[in-house]
A and B are shown apart, each in its own frame.
Chain A
Amino acid sequence: MQQLPQLLILMIRLFSKYSASSSKMVTFYFKNKDNSLTKVTTPIGQNLLQIAHKNEVDLEGACEQSLACSTCHVILPKQLYDKLPQPVPEEEDLLDLAYGLTETSRLGCQVKVDEKFENVIIQLPKATRNFYVDGHKPKPH
């Protein structure tokens, strides 16, 4: 009989801990391929690819987060990169194949956001050189 209240307290503690952490929000930015910024506010615990998709940021996720492509490649600020746990070797293998790899590249589907992401800018890799042909410059609009 003595155990029951203890169990209850434990459950309440666990529950409040869980609900507290899941409702904690963080705000940061994606820098798009055209250099525009998309501001996102999101509960912590989700991965960068999920967040990008919810916010209509153009990050591909060709293998649906199964660590089999590298199309969810993103570039983190160095300070943030250094604070995160090391990628597993399988992620590193895919980064070897990523287009436009940098020293602070990660796969978006493997990086969960937490408080450390507050206010940072996550850059999408650029695949393009701007290229105007035959002397044509785009018209100003």
Chain B
Amino acid sequence: MIKFGSNYASKIQHLYSNKPFSFAIIGSGPAGLYTAKHLFNDIENINIHVFEQDLCPTGLIRYGMAPDHQRIKRVAEELLTIKQNEHCHYFGGVSIGKDITINELDQLYSAVFYAYGAQIDKPLNIQGEQLQNVYSARQIVNWYNSHPDYCDLDIDFKNKNNIAIIGNGNVALDIARIFGLDQDELQKTDINEISIDKLKNNQINNIVIIGRRGLVQSQFSLKELREMTKLSQFRFLLYKPDLLWSLNEESQTECKDLGVNYGNVTRGNRRKLEFMKSFEIIEDEATMNSILKQGSNGRINVILRFLLTPLKIELKENKLNLKLQHNQLAGKPFNQVAMPLDQQSILECDMIIKSVGYQSHNIDNDIPWNSEQNIVDNSDGCIKKDPTKLKTGSYACGWIKTGPKGVIDSTFASSQETIVNFKNHMDADLIRNVHDPYEQVVNLLRQRSINYIDFKVWDRINEFEIEQGQKAKKPRIKLMRNRDLLQFL
């Protein structure tokens, strides 16, 4: 189906109808697949090869988005309709930078689209991060989503009553929610049996979610908050002193209707603040301490804390002691920072999860890198050779372009911008013609003894997983080991 840009497609077809173009896309997450889909829609006579380091496609749709959010995961099917195109090839299990270099791709293709997302943890850099029962959100999320590298994560929930999550975005809420699902709810997800066995009947009483700045600056979206409050097992709590410090004049300004220039920011802040006013409030430290000590008779307290920076983690008498620096807000509205106060406290807990964000990294020294923002150095999706020149023929889409923030909608929008700019380069005759290098790539991978799966193999895996799932009344049962996946070759 030719959609947006259909006028454009006819133009490009007219100009170049007999000359093929061949594109490589690095990464098969939402950004990579969206880009492939739209390039096929907009330009005639092209070949696209998608390289993915995991065997299975779709990136964070499969290994990030929460397993109880199956509805949003359905986007995978729509994006993967590209596989019906005979000029589209998938190489799952091929890591660019390691198995094939960027220089090799540059030589093989008309253009290369970097869509390889964010694969590492933003470091917290505090003492005690390596202790047992301290995890990163990425580890946990990959674990409950059955990623081959994480499904054997050493984790157990025995006697884990109090859990601290550092960082207050949607990923923190995803984790808190999954930890709190009851057995029936867990069975409806595609979490594997081994993980369900660990999660069910856990003894979690309190989950304390900690943010460095105030309530208004928290990164939770109201969508996630509202959804979670509808589940009866969670009881949301705020701490009064946090609120007093959080709702300074500047923060209130950040919730005011300041017109279109502030886009959705103030609107989102305002609606979130209004909603959170309905949460129960813990009046003082004594009440807080007694809540943290009590059992919770079946419900889980989700305590949202603000203006706290983690300083270090120590192990004392079998408990993790999380030392926290208290902060106040300073600076102008929309630019407020956390300023340390002369006050510290200790939160005693049984498990700590660092959820301060994903981060991108450089996969090949030949990639121009913006080390300030940790993204591929680019200008609206066009990769830069140096500060003044573009590396024409190289483009970035999704999180590797923008940094790891936003949802699927913003990822699509950022990829779309890149495609428009790329098409301008095509119009300006900056992109060279290349015949389909499929045979060369296959030979290269054979020489290097790299096993990969293509879309046909993926179809068989996908069918198998869904079929197994249907027997157990689940959306799917994921194969979680590479050797099991490779059996479908």
Q: A residues bordering B, Cβ < 8 Å?
A: 32-34, 36, 56-58, 60-64, 66, 68-71, 73, 89-90, 92-103, 125, 127-134, 136-139, 141
**In the complex, what distance in Å separates the CA atom of A99 from the CA atom of B221?**
14
The residue that B69 contacts in the complex, of A68, A92, A130, A138, with Cβ under 8 A, is A68
**In the complex, what distance in Å separates the CA atom of A97 from the CA atom of B268?**
8
Contact yes or no, A98 B271, CB < 8 A: no
Given contacts A101-B264, A102-B260, contact A133 B407 (CB under 8 A): no
Contact yes or no, A131 B3, CB < 8 A: no
**A-side contacts of B5, CB under 8 Å:** 34, 58
Give B102-155 interface residues, CB cut-off 8 Å to A. none
Contact yes or no, B260 A127, CB < 8 A: no
Give B54-87 interface residues, CB cut-off 8 Å to A. 69, 71-72, 74-75, 78
Contact yes or no, B260 A93, CB < 8 A: no
**A-side contacts of B4, CB under 8 Å:** 32-34, 57-58
Q: In the complex, what's the smallest C-beta–C-beta distance from A95 to chain B, in angstroms?
A: 7
A contact patch SS: loop
**A-side contacts of B235, CB under 8 Å:** none
Contact yes or no, B7 A128, CB < 8 A: no
Given contacts A34-B4, A57-B3, contact A62 B424 (CB under 8 A): no
The residue that B71 contacts in the complex, of A66, A70, A129, A130, with Cβ under 8 A, is A66
Contact yes or no, B407 A97, CB < 8 A: yes
Contact yes or no, A64 B407, CB < 8 A: no
Measured CB to CB, the nearest residue on chain B to A93 is B223
Is B2 located at the chain interface by the 8 A CB criterion? yes
Contact yes or no, A127 B414, CB < 8 A: yes
**Chain B interface category by residue count:** 35 or more
Q: In the complex, what's the smallest C-beta–C-beta distance from B8 to chain A, in angstroms?
A: 7
**In the complex, what distance in Å separates the CA atom of A76 from the CA atom of B151?**
46
**B-side contacts of A92, CB under 8 Å:** 271
User: Nearest 4 pairs between A and B by C-beta?
Assistant: A58-B4, A127-B413, A58-B3, A138-B427
Is B483 located at the chain interface by the 8 A CB criterion? no
**B-side contacts of A57, CB under 8 Å:** 3-4
Is B298 located at the chain interface by the 8 A CB criterion? no
**B-side contacts of A97, CB under 8 Å:** 221, 223, 264, 268, 407, 409-410
Given contacts A56-B1, A56-B3, A96-B223, contact A136 B8 (CB under 8 A): no
Is B390 located at the chain interface by the 8 A CB criterion? yes
The residue that A94 contacts in the complex, of B11, B15, B223, B430, with Cβ under 8 A, is B223
Is B486 located at the chain interface by the 8 A CB criterion? no
Contact yes or no, A138 B424, CB < 8 A: yes
Is B263 located at the chain interface by the 8 A CB criterion? yes
Is B432 located at the chain interface by the 8 A CB criterion? no
Measured CB to CB, the nearest residue on chain A to B5 is A34
**In the complex, what distance in Å separates the CA atom of A3 from the CA atom of B4?**
57
**B-side contacts of A102, CB under 8 Å:** 260
**A-side contacts of B2, CB under 8 Å:** 56
**In the complex, what distance in Å separates the CA atom of A43 from the CA atom of B427?**
39
**B-side contacts of A62, CB under 8 Å:** 72, 74-75, 78, 408-409, 412
**A-side contacts of B392, CB under 8 Å:** 133-134
Contact yes or no, B408 A96, CB < 8 A: no
Q: In the complex, what's the smallest C-beta–C-beta distance from A138 to chain B, in angstroms?
A: 4
Q: In the complex, what's the smallest C-beta–C-beta distance from A15 to chain B, in angstroms?
A: 35
Q: In the complex, what's the smallest C-beta–C-beta distance from A57 to chain B, in angstroms?
A: 7
Give B374-413 interface residues, CB cut-off 8 Å to A. 379-380, 382, 389-390, 392, 407-410, 412-413
Is B434 located at the chain interface by the 8 A CB criterion? no
**In the complex, what distance in Å separates the CA atom of A54 from the CA atom of B421?**
28
**A-side contacts of B41, CB under 8 Å:** 58
Measured CB to CB, the nearest residue on chain A to B3 is A58
Contact yes or no, B413 A138, CB < 8 A: no
Q: In the complex, what's the smallest C-beta–C-beta distance from A49 to chain B, in angstroms?
A: 12
**In the complex, what distance in Å separates the CA atom of A95 from the CA atom of B428?**
37
Measured CB to CB, the nearest residue on chain A to B382 is A133
Give B1-54 interface residues, CB cut-off 8 Å to A. 1-8, 11, 14-15, 41
